Amino acid sequence: MRSSLLRRIVPVLWMAVLPLAFLPSSSRAQVSVGISVNLAPPVLPVYVQPAIPEPGYIWTPGYWAWDPAYGYYWVPGTWVAPPAVGLLWTPGYWGWEGGAFLWHAGYWGPHIGFYGGVNYGFGYTGHGYWGGQWRGGTFVYNRAVTNVTNVNITNVYTRTVVNEGGPTRVSFNGGPGGIAARPTSVELAAAHEHHVAFTPMQRQHVQLAARNPALRASVNGGRPAIAATGRPGVFSGRGVVAARAAGSGGHPASERSFGENRPGTAEFNARHGNPTGGYRPAQPSHGAHPAQPHGAAPHAAPHGHQAPEKGRDHEH
């Protein structure tokens, strides 16, 4: 099995995944293709989002990474303190290009860029991020799709994210069986903005995942025992969540409880982030009060569906 996987590696653009993801240069986050294979990544597993550890953290979804020695392994989803106020996480994704699957690394930036149309769940519906937004220097959470009920967070709102276009757990863009999404003009513009690479805690998180045999797809059959964690790099104890089921090519597990990374798509919200582009170090806030919107337009309702209260957010 191992030798078979090695033979299937396409010998172009080959670099190790981790060194590329950890490059400190913000400009290199835009040139993010660093590995190429012709073996499709597994579908996304079904799991529940662990509770946020403290205010100020942003959810970064789990994904399948690649190692030349043993193939795909799962990097658990986790809550991360952003490197600066106003920055949002654009997840990485696999894309079929030129006869191979190429990895496009994730990055921090003032707006959400293209991530292949992959529905990672918990607000990452394939385009944009619906799990929260920056309002001034405070991150405000959409408690309809994020698990923030365990701590005293008052900077919340409620906006239902409607599943649209049919459920899918496909984890790559393009090619046979892949997602057919293409970047919007706003996502293309976001690709040229200033980007920040992984934080040190994110780097450690990926390194630990790469060294854990239980996270390899060949071992767990697409159902990792550590599907998500409350904090990066903490793979045991409270806050660690196992996959409820291995993903399927079509429909998820029947469980529909709060916090599950259930599929869905929604319009991209171009107003997320800090419009001034000015960054300052972010510190997770404790018990922050709700911030007023700073001139951002409200979210548009997904096409073909009527949002609650005519598309208005419910503030709390």
Residue 11 included in any domain: yes
pLDDT tens, position by position, 282-294: 444 333 333 332 2
With contact defined as beta carbons under 8 Å apart, do 218 and 71 qualify?
A: yes
Residue 314 included in any domain: no
Tell whether pTM > 0.85.
Answer: no
pLDDT value of position 149: 83
Residue 304 included in any domain: no
Residue 306 included in any domain: no
Residue 302 included in any domain: no
Indicate the helix (H) or strand (E) that contains 80: strand 77-80
Q: Which residues, given as ranges, of the chain have pLDDT below 50?
A: 1-32, 165, 248-259, 262-316
pLDDT value of position 213: 97
Total domain count, the chain: 1
Residue 311 included in any domain: no
Residue 201 included in any domain: yes
User: Dihedral through CA 89, CA 92, CA 98, CA 99, nearest 10?
Assistant: -160
Q: How many CA atoms lie within 13 A of 316 on its CB side?
A: 14
What single-letter amino acid sits at 27?
A: S
pLDDT value of position 167: 62
Q: How far is CA 305 from the centre of its chain?
A: 24
pLDDT value of position 164: 54
pLDDT tens, position by position, 24-35: 333 333 334 557
Give the angle 268-179-88 at the CA atoms, nearest 5°. Answer: 35
Q: Which domain holds residue 127?
A: 1-297
Q: How far is CA 254 from the centre of its chain?
A: 22
Residue 181 included in any domain: yes
